[in-house]
Amino acid sequence: MISDRCAACKYSRRKCRSDCIFYPYFPSNNSERYACVHQIYGANSIRSILQQLPIHLRAEAAESLYYEAKCRFEDPVYGCAGIISQLHQQIRNAESQIAKVRAQIAFLNSNAHEMDSNTNNLIQGHSNIGQSQFQAP
């Protein structure tokens, strides 16, 4: 038996065994984290999810469960999907802005190229005029 119970065992008012699946991922000093996940998923679902995963993935899964549960509390209708949708919209907006800026750059580059051509033609025209004045008829 573990001397300090995990948040899950505290929540359910039971003793925390040494092989408690919740202990590493829901420490007693952060009981709100477990309560949030428990209210959305329930203890049996959390246990099942963690048991089905290899040990090296369980911490990430617990973190993901907490994040998803927290998002569900903040936005009961869409949860994480709402945040993902907002992020996709931000990406589309940024891509649109990038396309506009690239179009402006291309336009400015083509204008600059035209101006360079016109300037070169003007300079060549002036140099030809000067040469023709000094040549003997």
For residues 16-42, give the mean pLDDT: 92
pLDDT at residue 108 tops 80: yes
Position 116, amino acid = D
| Cα Dmax for the chain | 115
Using CB atoms within 10 Å of the CB of residue 83, give its burial: 0 to 12 exposed, 13 to 18 middle, 19+ buried.
Answer: middle
| Average confidence score pLDDT of the chain | 87
Contacts of 23 (CB under 8 A, 6+ apart): 2, 6, 8, 9, 16
Task: Give the start-to-end residue ranges of the domains of the chain.
Answer: 1-74, 80-137
pLDDT > 90: percent of the chain: 61
How far does the chain reach from its first CA to its final CA, in angstroms? 115
**Range in 49-63, 76-90, 117-131 with the lowest mean pLDDT:** 117-131
Confidence at residue 114, expressed as pLDDT on a 0 to 100 scale? 78
pLDDT at residue 123 tops 80: no
Q: What would the pLDDT profile of 61-98 be if each residue is shown by its tens digit?
A: 999 999 999 999 999 999 999 999 999 999 999 999 99
Confidence at residue 72, expressed as pLDDT on a 0 to 100 scale? 93
